[in-house]
Structures are given as structure tokens and as C-alpha cells.
Chains A and B, each alone.
Chain A
Amino acid sequence: MTTFAASSWNFDVPGAPVEVLLFALFAALAIFGALRVVTASDPFVSALSLLFNFVSLGALYLMLGQAFVAISQILVYAGAVVVLFLFVIAYLGDRRELAADAVRARALRPFALLGVLALMVTLVAVVITADFPKLAELHDTAAGFGFGSPQAIGETFLGTYVLAFEVTSLVLLVAAIGGIVLGLTGRARHDRLRKLMQTRSADQQKRLHESEERKLKSERGVGTT
């Protein structure tokens, strides 16, 4: 393990409030982005505001010394998810909502707002009253050396949590197949799904052939005796 991993990925600036300023900046950006997603009447603006939220969360992950998760956040969310959303919004065309129509039926709106406010108050109250442990000193522990590096995460992921790894890959496969099936439309969907059902694998074909031959042989056997 190289030493640069621990030194360059640690964001401790001793005696300076830089970290506090950065946290305030990125927290404000994240909340601004999230609020804009919820309030914008144009889905395109919503999707672009989500980018603010994702990027500032990535910066916060970096401040927590977790470079690999931060990079994955930028690649997966900002790179793939937001682009996919923008593609779909562009494909569907302009579906701007009227400001009055953007929210649910008027009668239910106060209850939804009340529920959300209650949720926020409860969560924040729990966070304020809870006694969280202080941030562990990274240099003192064996785990702190190279904390957040791809190597360390890979060792945990493929060691302790190898089952979760396999299940996740299965979920991704199922989602990919689901995306293809949902993407087929009309006549193409009908034809291709039927073709998929009828297609036999090479192994299945071989077995079918063998069983037919056996059947023929036994019939011939019956005929001679």
C-alpha cells in the first residue's frame, strides 16, 4: 500500500475553518438543488437541478475522505442517471405542467405538506438529540490507512459482502432485461417476445433430438420382437 493514498485523500486542514465553509457551501447547494427539483414546473429544469444535488453530495463524500464513493457518485449519477433522464425528457417532448396543475389535488395538498413537515421535524429532532460518536482519527487506526481507497473497498466488498455483490449484479441483469422488454412496442414486442419463448438453446435441441431417436429405436425394437 502506498503512502500517498492516506496523505492526499485526507481533507484535514488543521486549525482552519475551511472544512466548515466548504460544508456550508455544498450543503446549501445540495438543498438548493433538491428544492429546485421539487418546485420547478419544467421537468428539464428539475433534471438539471438534480445535477447540482449530485455533484455537491460527491464533494461532501470527498470531504469525508471517501474518494471512491465520490467518483462513483459522479460517474453513475451525474454521468449516467441524469443523462438518461434528460434523454427521456427530450424524447417525450414538451410536457410542461401548468403551475396550478403541478401539484396533486388541492384537497390532499395540506395533508401531504403536513406529513412531510412532521417527517422533517422528527428526523432533525432525532439527529439533534442523538449522541453520535466523534469522527474517528484516520491516522491512528489500521483501517484508516488508505481509507476510502478502491483497494480497501474492494477487499470489503468481495470479502465480507460477496453475497451482496452477487445479488447486486443479478439485480442489474434483471433491470437490463426489464428495460429491453419495456422498450419493445406494438408489433415488434409481440413478435420478439414470441420468438424468445420459442427459441430453444443448443442443449435443449440436443436433448430433444436424443429423446426422439430413443423413441424411434424403441419403436423399431417393438417391431422386431
Chain B
Amino acid sequence: MSVAVDWYVGLSAVLFSIGAAGVLLRRNALVVLLSIEIMLNAGNLALVAFSRTHAQHDGQVFAIVVMAIAASEVVVGLGIVVALSHMRRELDTDELAELHG
């Protein structure tokens, strides 16, 4: 008996929803970034599970691409957070509204 791919994809769906909850509910910019990481990882799990299902490597290649993109996103996101903190501002995503027209 082995675990079917359904379970992996189901776990990925649950993790993605938890990450979305973090992005929607939390106000701290750092925690929002952490939640985005959870969502990207959930997507990766689905890619990897389907890659195993078909015994092809395409899904794994894209999982690695997603990892690189996630790392870039963290660098830029944390850079913005640090730059904001230099402006003596709270890292509250509800207060950061300079770009809304």
C-alpha cells in the first residue's frame, strides 16, 4: 500500500489555503511574506507530486525554478521591509498606503 497522489495534492491545497489566510488576515508585513512562502511551497508540493505521478522530471525542474523565484522575492521583500523600517514606520500593511491613488 502506498500513499496516492490525491493525498499529496490535498495536503498542498490545505497548505495553500492556510498561506492565503495568513496573507489576508495578518497585518505584519514580515508575517505576510512568510505566508507567501507557505503558498509557494504548497504549489511546489503539487508540482513535485504530479512529477512523480508521471515519472517525468518537468515538474521537478519547475519546482526548482519556483524556489529561485521565491528566494528572489524574499530578498526584495525583506529589502523593502528594512527600508520601510528606516523611515520609522510600523510594518503594518494597513498603514502602508502611499501607492493607493
Contact = CB atoms under 8 A, between A and B. Distances in A.
Q: Is this pair of chains taken from one and the same complex?
A: yes
Interface in A1-45: 12, 15, 17, 19-20, 23, 27, 30-31, 34-35, 37-38, 43
B38 A37 contact: yes
Given A57-B41, A77-B41, A84-B78, A120 B34 contact: no
Interface of A: 12, 15, 17, 19-20, 23, 27, 30-31, 34-35, 37-38, 43, 46-47, 50, 53-54, 57, 60-61, 63-66, 68-69, 72-73, 76-77, 80-81, 84-85, 88-89, 91-92, 95, 97, 101-105, 109, 112-113, 115-117, 119-120, 123-124, 126-128, 130, 132-138, 141, 143-144, 147-148, 152-153, 155-157, 160-161, 164, 168, 171-172, 174-176, 178-179, 181-183, 185-186
B30 A132 contact: no
Interface centre among B7, B57, B60, B76 (most CB of A within 10 A): B57
A34 B38 contact: yes
A116 B15 CA distance: 11
17 contacts: A31-B15, A35-B18, A46-B34, A57-B45, A60-B45, A63-B3, A65-B52, A84-B78, A104-B24, A116-B17, A119-B16, A123-B17, A124-B14, A138-B55, A148-B57, A175-B71, A175-B72
B30 A160 contact: no
A31 B71 contact: no
Interface of B: 1-11, 13-22, 24-28, 30-31, 33-35, 37-38, 41, 44-45, 48-49, 51-58, 60-65, 67-76, 78-83, 85-86, 90-91, 94
Q: Is the interface of A mostly helix, strand, loop or mixed?
A: helix
A143 B44 CA distance: 21
B59 to A, nearest CB: 9
A169 B24 CA distance: 31
A111 B99 CA distance: 24
Contacts of B85: 92
A175 B4 CA distance: 38
Contact of A143 (B5, B55, B80): B55
Given A112-B25, A138-B55, A175-B76, A85 B64 contact: no
A121 to B, nearest CB: 9
A160 B61 CA distance: 10
Nearest to B9: A127
A97 B85 CA distance: 15
Contact of A104 (B2, B25, B57, B76): B25
Q: Which 8 residue pairs are nearest across A and B when measured between Cβ atoms?
A: A182-B79, A175-B72, A123-B13, A120-B17, A136-B55, A38-B22, A112-B24, A156-B57
Contacts of A168: 65, 68-69
Nearest to B5: A132
A66 B52 contact: yes
B21 A38 contact: yes
Given A66-B60, A92-B85, A144-B55, A34 B19 contact: yes
